[in-house]
Chains A and B, each alone.
Chain A
Amino acid sequence: MAEQVPFGDIGLASNPEPRCPCVLLLDTSGSMAEIVRDAGQDLGQTRQVDGQTYRVVSGGVTRIDEVNEGLKAYQADLNGDSLAAQRVEVSVITFGGTVQTVCPFVTAAQFTPPTLVASGETPMGAAILQAIKAVTERKKLYKQNGLHYYRPWIFFVTDGAPDRDDAWPMAAAKVHEGEEKKQFAFFAVGVEGANFDILRQICSPKRVPLKLKGYSFREMFQWLSQSQRSVSHSNPGQEDQVKLTPPTGWASL
């Protein structure tokens, strides 16, 4: 088969800015459909989702709704800074039942926030491996096009534990190796209900998992866009020296 070049090849050439790639690796398993506020009437039914029993209610705002809102704010904030909009590249990969690349890498200027839907189990390990692969391939493309790049970010958000037989131990090994070789920075955020024991094993000891305060996804994404804006204005290779604002508004260690 002819080697297929993803669209953006020409986009890569017409935008000479050094790139700041970021994979948003988001949990869309069934538990993300849990209602967090404004719940309506209890319909008196229960349902088994993602290993837990839930009561069914009408209306309400779910975790995934909050994530979708957060994504919109994230996109808007990045585009408020025209240099960051040309430098930050976003890809969205979700895992809920299956691992899906909802949005391949595009510059923030071209990014349209998707509307995610929650369902299915939590194939965490496979998702992490796919994110690492996406980052590796993107870097290859940058090199072919003679573009410079900042260390890629993988921003991993979950509210659960990996499925049984999940490849998370292998993913953890790859995360440790990648962090060690400075191939990417892996940030993990656990939402209420996440298995922090496993998250700690996945993360590099240098970057411990953060615990989301309540469901402040919007604040989390705002922090992310602000951090990426400051990184994208810093010097490639020196991102470590950029002081990221502490994530105190929305997370605890």
Chain B
Amino acid sequence: MTPPRLTDANGRPFPLDRLLGSGGEGDVYALLNDPNRVAKVYNDRHQPDTQKVEKLTALIALANPQLLTVAAWPTELLLHANTRRVVGFVMPRLVGYQEIWQLYNPAERLKAFPRAGWTFQVRAAANLAAAFDEVHKAGCLVADVNMKNAQVSAQALVRLIDCDSFQVRANGKQYLCEVGVEHYTPPELQGKHFRSVVRTENHDRFGLAVLIFQLLFVGRHPYQGVYEGAGDPGFVQLITEFRFAQGPMAHSWGMAPPPHTPTFEDIPPEVGTLFRRAFERGSESGTRPRPGEWLPVLRQLEQSSVECAADPGHRYWRGAKGCVWCRLAAKGGPEYFFGVAPGIGTFTVDDAKLQEVLRRLATLRPTEFRYDRNRFAPQVPPEPEPLTDVLEEHQNITLVLGIATAFCILAMPLGFIRKFFFVIALLGSIIFGIWFWILLSRSPRRRELRRRRRARTHAVQDLEVIEGEWDRCVHAYLRHHAELSRWVHRRIDECRGLAVTFQAELKRLTENAEAIARQRHLRFHLLTDAEIPNIGGSRKRILASFNVITAADVEWDKIHQIKGFGDALTRNLMTWKAAVLATFRFDPAAAISPGEQKATVVRFRAQQQQFLTELDRGLIELESLEPACRAKLQMLVPDLKTAIAALEQAEADLRLLRRGE
């Protein structure tokens, strides 16, 4: 794309160089012969209207050396060469700056600012405050404060960009900023339409405080915490309701700091006070800290930071109770500043910790909880229920009748002497027999026997139910124990396996790096510089027209297709490529960039930490199984005792009755 033809405000041609980048509003070009400035040219959809041109003119009039060192401040208008309309402006060029979120986000920081420790971020926070201070002094507001329009250099210098969207006051007029990002919009402006809102310094101070907070608190937003109240309020609602997640009062509005992050204990009280003034209710009335208030406090914090004895990459406030970064990592959190100190480090499995886990596991052999009925039996054998006299009496009558029946039956043969005796004996045996049978079948003794037998059966069943419950408890416990133990062993194996996966990952990265380096090597060898048999200037031009320019482009199929390139010529080219490849040297040791290796190491350490945390939780649960089972069994004991006593009673009762038979 050819750059548009522009002139400066005086109509002198203003030549642009190549396109550097495109944004939503327009394109940014380098300038011919001026490496320190760039031109922003609006695209067709964002052509500046009269208001915008006035605003740009006002901004340019405000430009001063201080502003130019803290912001990409417009310095000159650019006009379209034909239409003479304002289509863009000139501003300082930023080289080597990255968006501020890439510094405060710990995962991104490892890549973008691999050597930046906590004090680097404190310094960036102070520099950010200084930049805001300059803008406010000029009577302007950043207005659309966000994670991308403050940029940071490798020296922690901060530059504000997108100055043409600032809110500007000039010649008695306010030029508004029509956009905003909710994270950086104060509670009192949430939900308002920025097209009609005149923002104040107090609003800008909110956005500044949020960015400073994010730099100091590992990227967390001040209203990002664990909400303890009812419902599920969204983020906007949390901001609107001033639910600041840190500080001594947070609990009173139902908030707690997010897990694995620093707290107010880790920063000086002066800094904490400023944050509270920025984020707690009441701050909307104009009391948020001015940029100038942050400067001395943050500088003091940087000076009062100390180096951790365990890891020189850790720096923390002297007044804290020990190194906050070691503490968070020890409690299962991320290693926020791992490898910030020189030396990349590598990943090794922490076998000592795994051994410790195994030792703990060894002490957790399952208890058998063997069941012994005698343990719960009553100490004194039960007194059997006595038999009543009725039983005795009834037994005697039955006996007499039995004898009488037998006598009558025996008397029947007397019928041979006289028939009359037979009739008497028969009648007698029938009458006595029926009577005897009736007495026998309705015997209270039999009834009592049945009753006592039934009582025993019931007692046995009752006891079996409770004993079954006992068995189930013990079984569940043993099964649970075995499952958990197996899980712990599996996790340990997985954790040990990380070492292998890590090596494989490094190998993969190295291989990638080798492929990329080889390709680059080929691309450095231009066809035009090469001396290849039978390939002269004209053939080289033909090849170039088919986009065969470097050794990387030389491929058999590709060349062979070109008219006039037969087997011989193609082979010559391939031979040349092979010769180029033969000079390729690759150093695997230097293949992986430090940032890449560090990111990999951090990922594996995090995964190991995760496993160790899970193992710890698993062991704690395993430890709790035995007491839990014991308590459950203990609850069964009273019922068990009652049931056993009932059974022994029933058996004693039954024994007494049988003894009489």
A interface, CB within 8 angstroms of B: 1-5, 7, 9-11, 13-18, 82-83, 86, 109, 143-148, 235-238
Q: Mark B386-415, 1 if CB is under 8 A from A, else 0.
A: 000000000000000000000000000000
A10-B226 contact in complex given A16-B221, A82-B108, A237-B236, C-beta closer than 8 Å: no
Contact (Cβ within 8 A) A147 B484: no
Residues in A neighbouring B483, C-beta threshold 8 A: 1
Residues in B neighbouring A3, C-beta threshold 8 A: 617
B interface, CB within 8 angstroms of A: 99, 101-102, 104-108, 147-148, 181-183, 214, 218-221, 224-227, 232, 234-236, 245, 257-261, 332-334, 336, 480, 483-484, 487, 606-607, 609-610, 613-614, 617-618, 620-621
Residues in B neighbouring A147, C-beta threshold 8 A: 224, 258
Residues in A neighbouring B106, C-beta threshold 8 A: 14-16
Q: Quote the shortest CB–CB distance from B638 to chain A (angstroms).
A: 31
What are 24 A-B interface contacts by the 8 Å CB criterion?
A1-B484, A2-B621, A3-B617, A5-B610, A5-B613, A5-B617, A10-B333, A10-B334, A11-B107, A11-B334, A14-B218, A16-B219, A16-B224, A17-B219, A83-B101, A86-B107, A145-B260, A146-B220, A146-B258, A147-B224, A235-B181, A236-B183, A237-B235, A238-B236
Contact (Cβ within 8 A) B606 A235: no
A9-B610 contact in complex given A2-B484, A148-B224, C-beta closer than 8 Å: yes
A7-B607 contact in complex given A2-B484, A145-B258, C-beta closer than 8 Å: yes
Contact (Cβ within 8 A) A148 B259: no
Instruction: Give the docked Cα–Cα distance between A146 and B263 (Å).
Output: 14
Ordered nearest first, which 6 A-B pairs have the shortest CB separation? A146-B258, A16-B219, A235-B182, A14-B334, A13-B260, A2-B618
A2-B610 contact in complex given A16-B106, A146-B225, C-beta closer than 8 Å: no
A143-B227 contact in complex given A14-B336, A148-B235, A237-B234, C-beta closer than 8 Å: yes
Q: Quote the shortest CB–CB distance from A157 to chain B (angstroms).
A: 29
Instruction: Give the docked Cα–Cα distance between A3 and B105 (Å).
Output: 29
Contact (Cβ within 8 A) A13 B227: no
Q: Quote the shortest CB–CB distance from A106 to chain B (angstroms).
A: 12
Q: Which residue of A lies closest to B232 (CB)?
A: A143
Instruction: Give the docked Cα–Cα distance between A86 and B218 (Å).
Output: 15
Of A1, A5, A145, the contact of B487 (CB 8 Å cutoff):
A1
**Contacts A10-B333, A17-B105 supplied; 8 other A-B pairs, CB < 8 Å:** A2-B487, A13-B333, A14-B218, A17-B101, A145-B258, A146-B220, A235-B182, A236-B234
Residues in B neighbouring A109, C-beta threshold 8 A: 107
Instruction: Give the docked Cα–Cα distance between A146 and B226 (Å).
Output: 5
Q: Which residue of B lies closest to A183 (CB)?
A: B232
A86-B220 contact in complex given A10-B609, A145-B259, A235-B182, C-beta closer than 8 Å: no
Q: Quote the shortest CB–CB distance from A217 to chain B (angstroms).
A: 27
Instruction: Give the docked Cα–Cα distance between A144 and B104 (Å).
Output: 21
Residues in B neighbouring A235, C-beta threshold 8 A: 181-183, 236
Q: Which residue of A lies closest to B236 (CB)?
A: A237
Contact (Cβ within 8 A) B334 A13: yes
Residues in A neighbouring B621, C-beta threshold 8 A: 1-2
Contact (Cβ within 8 A) B226 A144: yes
Residues in B neighbouring A4, C-beta threshold 8 A: 614
Instruction: Give the docked Cα–Cα distance between A144 and B257 (Å).
Output: 11
Contact (Cβ within 8 A) B182 A236: yes
Residues in A neighbouring B257, C-beta threshold 8 A: 146
Q: Quote the shortest CB–CB distance from B574 to chain A (angstroms).
A: 29
Residues in A neighbouring B148, C-beta threshold 8 A: 83
Instruction: Give the docked Cα–Cα distance between A18 and B610 (Å).
Output: 22
Residues in A neighbouring B234, C-beta threshold 8 A: 236-237
Of B183, B226, B610, the contact of A7 (CB 8 Å cutoff):
B610
Residues in A neighbouring B258, C-beta threshold 8 A: 13, 145-147
Q: Which residue of A lies closest to B622 (CB)?
A: A2
Residues in B neighbouring A10, C-beta threshold 8 A: 260, 332-334, 606-607, 609-610
Residues in B neighbouring A7, C-beta threshold 8 A: 607, 610
Q: Which residue of B lies closest to A8 (CB)?
A: B610
Q: Which residue of B lies closest to A16 (CB)?
A: B219
Instruction: Give the docked Cα–Cα distance between A239 and B147 (Å).
Output: 18
Q: Which residue of A lies closest to B182 (CB)?
A: A235
Q: Quote the shortest CB–CB distance from A179 to chain B (angstroms).
A: 16
Instruction: Give the docked Cα–Cα distance between A86 and B480 (Å).
Output: 39
Instruction: Give the docked Cα–Cα distance between A2 and B606 (Å).
Output: 20
Q: Quote the shortest CB–CB distance from A184 to chain B (angstroms).
A: 13
Interface centre among A2, A11, A15 (most CB of B within 10 A): A2
Contact (Cβ within 8 A) B182 A237: yes
Of A2, A11, A13, A144, the contact of B614 (CB 8 Å cutoff):
A2
Q: Quote the shortest CB–CB distance from B11 to chain A (angstroms).
A: 39
A18-B235 contact in complex given A83-B101, A86-B105, A147-B224, C-beta closer than 8 Å: yes
Instruction: Give the docked Cα–Cα distance between A10 and B236 (Å).
Output: 25
Residues in B neighbouring A1, C-beta threshold 8 A: 480, 483-484, 487, 621
Residues in A neighbouring B214, C-beta threshold 8 A: 16
Residues in A neighbouring B609, C-beta threshold 8 A: 10
Instruction: Give the docked Cα–Cα distance between A148 and B183 (Å).
Output: 11
Instruction: Give the docked Cα–Cα distance between A236 and B610 (Å).
Output: 29
A5-B614 contact in complex given A146-B257, A147-B224, C-beta closer than 8 Å: yes
Residues in B neighbouring A16, C-beta threshold 8 A: 104-106, 214, 218-221, 224
Q: Which residue of A lies closest to B332 (CB)?
A: A10
Residues in B neighbouring A82, C-beta threshold 8 A: 102, 108
Contact (Cβ within 8 A) B105 A15: yes
Contact (Cβ within 8 A) A15 B107: yes
Q: Which residue of B lies closest to A5 (CB)?
A: B614
Instruction: Give the docked Cα–Cα distance between A159 and B176 (Å).
Output: 50
Instruction: Give the docked Cα–Cα distance between A17 and B235 (Å).
Output: 13
Instruction: Give the docked Cα–Cα distance between A19 and B127 (Å).
Output: 29
